[in-house]
Amino acid sequence: MSSIHILSDRVANQIAAGEVIERPVAVVKELVENSLDAGATQIEVEFRNGGKSYIRITDNGKGMSPDESLLCLERHATSKIREAADLNEVCSFGFRGEALPSIASVSKFTLRTRSKEWEHGTEIFINGGKMIEKKDCGMPVGTVIEVAHLFNSVPARRKFLKTDPTETAHITYNCRLFAVAHPNVAFRVLENGRTVFQSPACENLRDRIAEIWGRNLADDLIPVDVSDPKTGFRLRGLTAKPGVGRSTRRELVTLVNRRPVDSRTLSLAVLDAYHGRIQKGRYPPAFLFLEIQPQEVDVNVHPAKREVRFRDDGAIRRFVLNAITETLAASRADNIAQAVTQIPLAADVKIETPASLAAKVPGIEKPKVAILPSSPIYPAVSKATHTNAIGTAPQAVAPTLDVSPSPATPQTTPDWRLIIVLKKRYALFDTPRGLVMLHLRHADQRVRFERISKEFKNDKATSQRLLIPHPIEFEPLASAALKSQLQQLNAQGFQVEEFGRNFYRIEAVPTWLSPEQAEPFIRDLVDLIRQRGGMRKPNALDSDVIARLAVEGSYRRSDSLTDQAVEQLAKDLLSCDTPHTSPFGRPTFSEVSWNEWERRFGSD
């Protein structure tokens, strides 16, 4: 009964489609890559319902002749390689010649295209892989591809698609990556008829990032440009200033030969370079372009081509690690040199350095270096420097422990006597029961956590108004996340107002939050809402969540504490409801009783 036969092209395409295009974002990627390969300088991406019901990509690239427009829909039709050997040198994004026929086999597909040699364009309509119509049409030079009802004919695949917001998030994120990878191409992205983002062609990468991720992020980055003449590797782009960390890796973007990639090798090298320069568990924002010979990298690992394999992993890793380490060291040296010669400026004043590093980089401008306090990681800022005006001070600028006794804290337990502070982390106490070692940070976290929680419970979240309202800008999804929880947030001592699409103004913060922490705090909060998928829950921000975030590591630093402050901290801790652990479950102190000492030494 059964006999071996060759699959029809249509079936083969549908099978290939499953591999090449797993979800709407893959369609967008293939089509945008084709537009880029066609030399487009303007690309518009429009989609509806997370791309499931409709995707349209319009470009002003070189377009296709009537013959080419038919040919491009054949399997393995590509204008980009001829021989297998060419694979080692592909510089274009696509080369398999699979994308268009695959997409056309699982959707209602319309191609309109015109090359400059032709007076008219060609329009082809395909439904589920079957050509329905081909005709001439009037249009400017370029290509428009519409993909409707994706996977309608393949219910098994449709089932695996996520919700519209999730698919939307993937599409917009990937379009952002394209925009970053190609600053000189104008992009516009529309979802359900509404512009998600648009950016004209930009002079340089920093402007592009400012357009797409917001000026604040762009200002937190310093230029990188390092090449190794021996290997021919070059790393350029923008990377986080020391101390600038984010709670997700979304803004740690690595590209290999302008293709955004997921590479463990690269991200580990970057994280390594920031080791000790940002808090554990946080990620440096960075946009890093690695340029290497095409034969050094295999982009052919996965049809969706997001993962890459390097010929020499170790060499790449060492190169990237060194490149960033050097850059960070140089920027720090610059900072110090500047700080010595300049009278202290307000935190948000940026000055131009003599272009030590990046002057040679076309497309990436000279480094702008902000004067930061000398230790950029955990600077101990004295209480006296607190002001209500906040600039774009990076997250690292943290106030010292807030040790002022809260009115709610009874001044009990005078019987812990401080002996000494050790390693800036511990304090040893002589107490009636024994020797107590206090962990300063854990203790501080507990004290502040309970203070904040009490404020919430008593519904008396007291606010402090900022002298100058602080503007803060988000990318659209983050903005949506914040918006969904704004009321909740404002009920808890914040006053954050929307004043334009994706723009907000922080007008007041709760008294427990120092004003210069307002922006990093809200950014972290937004990340948290997104991680928890909280946009759909009206009360994603319960007080516990906020309080815990408020006392997480980055905000306070327990060095430069006076003895008095340490003693006060111990008192405050002992009047807490749960003094023995930090809000994250770590011990706050550990005791060795006098009995235990006696047992150890023998009581004679």
To ligand ADP, the closest distance from the beta carbon of 77 in angstroms equals: 6
94, 223, 242, 245: which one contacts Mg ion (CB under 5 A)?
94
CB-wise, 54 or 429, nearer to ligand ADP? 54
CB-CB neighbours of 270 under 10 Å: 24
CB-wise, 21 or 526, nearer to Mg ion? 21
CA distance 108 to 499: 41
427-433 long-range contacts, Cβ below 8 Å, gap at least 24? 427/566, 427/569, 427/570, 429/570, 431/591, 433/591, 433/593, 433/594
Residue 78 binds which entry of Mg ion, ligand ADP, none, with Cβ cut-offs from 5 to 8 Å by kind?
A: ligand ADP
Structure tokens at 291: 């340029």
Choose the binding region for Mg ion from 87-95, 169-177, 307-315, 594-602 (rule: CB under 5 A): 87-95
Choose the binding region for Mg ion from 91-99, 282-290, 379-387, 519-527 (rule: CB under 5 A): 91-99
24, 50, 51, 63: which one contacts ligand ADP (CB under 6 A)?
63
Write the Ramachandran bin of 214: left for phi over 0, alpha for psi from -120 to 50, otherwise beta: left
CB-based burial of residue 16 (10 Å sphere; 0-12 exposed, 13-18 middle, 19+ buried)?
Answer: buried
Restricted to residues 33-52, the positions that interact with ligand ADP (CB under 6 A) are 34-35, 38
To ligand ADP, the closest distance from the beta carbon of 139 in angstroms equals: 13
16, 72, 364, 540: which one contacts ligand ADP (CB under 6 A)?
72
To Mg ion, the closest distance from the beta carbon of 259 in angstroms equals: 12
14, 34, 168, 514: which one contacts Mg ion (CB under 5 A)?
34
94 near ligand ADP, judged by CB under 6 A: yes
Residue 62 binds which entry of Mg ion, ligand ADP, none, with Cβ cut-offs from 5 to 8 Å by kind?
A: ligand ADP
CB-CB neighbours of 582 under 10 Å: 20
In sign, the C-alpha dihedral spanning 209, 213, 216, 217 is negative
What 8-state DSSP symbol labels residue 360?
A: G
The order of strands in the sheet holding 589-593 is 417-422, 426-430, 434-439, 589-593
Residue 149 binds which entry of ligand ADP, Mg ion, none, with Cβ cut-offs from 5 to 8 Å by kind?
A: none
CB-wise, 94 or 520, nearer to ligand ADP? 94
CB-wise, 94 or 285, nearer to Mg ion? 94
Choose the binding region for ligand ADP from 90-98, 121-129, 205-213, 499-507 (rule: CB under 6 A): 90-98
Choose the binding region for ligand ADP from 91-99, 157-165, 182-190, 588-596 (rule: CB under 6 A): 91-99
Of 384, 441, 391, 479, the residue nearest 569 (C-alpha): 441
50, 51, 97, 284: which one contacts ligand ADP (CB under 6 A)?
97
Q: How are the residues of the chain apportioned to helix, strand and coil, as percentages rounded to the nearest 5?
A: 35, 25, 40
Residues counted in the chain: 604
100 near ligand ADP, judged by CB under 6 A: yes
Residue 437 in contact with residue 418, Cβ under 8 Å? no
Residue 97 binds which entry of Mg ion, ligand ADP, none, with Cβ cut-offs from 5 to 8 Å by kind?
A: ligand ADP
End-to-end CA distance of the chain: 98
Distance of CA 441 to the CA centre of its chain: 27
Residue 208 in contact with residue 183, Cβ under 8 Å? yes
58, 60, 78, 168: which one contacts ligand ADP (CB under 6 A)?
78
Residue 290 pairs in a beta bridge with 235, 256
To ligand ADP, the closest distance from the beta carbon of 61 in angstroms equals: 4
Reported as type and span, the H/E element at residue 352 is strand 350-352
To ligand ADP, the closest distance from the beta carbon of 80 in angstroms equals: 5
Q: Which residue is nearest to Mg ion (CB)?
A: 94
Residue 371 binds which entry of Mg ion, ligand ADP, none, with Cβ cut-offs from 5 to 8 Å by kind?
A: none
Binding mask 140-179 for ligand ADP (x = CB under 6 A): ---x------------------------------------
CB-CB neighbours of 499 under 10 Å: 9
36, 57, 99, 205: which one contacts Mg ion (CB under 5 A)?
99
To ligand ADP, the closest distance from the beta carbon of 35 in angstroms equals: 5
CB-wise, 96 or 441, nearer to ligand ADP? 96
Distances (CA, A) of 43 to 34, 40, 52, 57: 11, 7, 20, 7
The three-class DSSP label of residue 133 is strand
Using CB under 5 A, count the residues that bind Mg ion: 3
Residue 28 binds which entry of ligand ADP, Mg ion, none, with Cβ cut-offs from 5 to 8 Å by kind?
A: none
CB-CB neighbours of 50 under 10 Å: 24
To ligand ADP, the closest distance from the beta carbon of 255 in angstroms equals: 19
Q: Which residues bind Mg ion (CB under 5 A)?
A: 34, 94, 99
Rule CB under 6 A: which residues touch ligand ADP? 30, 34-35, 38, 59, 61-64, 72, 77-80, 94-100, 143
